[in-house]
């Protein structure tokens, strides 16, 4: 009996390290850094944390230059950019078309009055990373780069082709205000109505 117990002890000593190795979770690689170009050709690392920029959050709004819903939201987006940029928020307009020429994006941005940086995402690197599916769709990233809010800008559009005379809930504005006040954002996610971003 003693010899049998001793054998079990020896077996356990050698087996435990093997079990421990099996239970270890595989090491996860950090996601590759994303580099996009602006409509003017400048390189931008939109998800990189910039210690020199004391932004409270980054806001990415995905658009398509020929999407009527995106274009209808341009005045609202410009108002938010004008009001909240001085309060420490960084806004970006992200064009999602794979075949959009930079000069077309520049012309569109000028026509619709965008004053924030305009990024080109032809390979959908940023849209896939954040999970954008339609245009327009907004993402608010906190200081740590985590998605604090994603979804519609407001509830003006009920469905594709159906819209209210005016919005009754300003979701993105509410998320910005809650961020300023240090309050939790609720809801953290809403459904966006717009033009689908084609999957590659």
Is 116 domain-assigned?
Answer: yes
Q: What is the pLDDT of residues 134-160, one digit of tens each?
A: 999 999 999 889 999 999 999 999 987
Question: Which phi and psi (to 5°) does residue 23 adopt?
Answer: -80, -10
Q: How many domains does the chain have?
A: 1
Is 10 domain-assigned?
Answer: no
Cβ-based neighbours of 200, under 8 Å, separated by 6 or more: 98, 123, 124
pLDDT at 122: 97
Q: How far is 123 from 135, CA to CA, in rounded Å?
A: 15
- pLDDT bucket at 25, cuts 50 / 70 / 90: very low
Q: How far is 135 from 197, CA to CA, in rounded Å?
A: 7
Is 57 domain-assigned?
Answer: yes
Is 18 domain-assigned?
Answer: no
Q: What is the pLDDT of residues 59-93, one digit of tens each?
A: 999 999 999 999 999 999 999 999 999 999 999 99
Is 157 domain-assigned?
Answer: yes
Cβ-based neighbours of 122, under 8 Å, separated by 6 or more: 97, 98, 99, 100
Is 153 domain-assigned?
Answer: yes
CATH number at residue 143: 3.40.30.10
Q: Give the domain extent around 177.
A: 36-44+52-196
In this prediction the pTM is 0.83
| Rounded percentage of the chain residues whose pLDDT exceeds 70 | 80
pLDDT mean across residues, the chain: 86
Is 3 domain-assigned?
Answer: no
The DSSP letter of residue 54 is -
Is 135 domain-assigned?
Answer: yes
């Amino acid at each position: 009996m003693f010899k049998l117990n001793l054998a079990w002890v020896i077996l356990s000593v050698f087996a435990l390290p093997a079990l421990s190795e099996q239970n270890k979770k595989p090491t996860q690689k950090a996601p590759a850094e994303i580099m996009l170009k602006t409509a003017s050709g400048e390189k931008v690392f939109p998800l990189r944390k910039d210690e020199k920029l004391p932004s409270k959050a980054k806001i990415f709004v995905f658009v398509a230059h020929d999407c009527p819903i995106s274009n209808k939201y341009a005045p609202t987006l410009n108002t938010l950019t004008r009001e909240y940029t001085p309060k420490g928020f960084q806004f970006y307009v992200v064009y999602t078309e794979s075949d959009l020429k930079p000069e077309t994006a520049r012309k569109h941005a000028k026509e619709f009055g965008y004053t924030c940086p305009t990024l080109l995402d032809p390979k959908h690197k940023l849209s896939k990373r954040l999970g954008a599916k339609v245009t327009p769709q907004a993402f608010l990233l906190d200081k740590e780069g985590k998605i604090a809010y994603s979804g519609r800008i407001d509830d003006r559009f009920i469905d594709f082709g159906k819209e209210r005379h005016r919005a009754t809930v300003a979701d993105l504005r509410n998320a910005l205000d809650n961020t300023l006040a240090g309050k939790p954002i609720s809801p953290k996610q809403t459904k966006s109505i717009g033009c689908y971003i084609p999957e590659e």
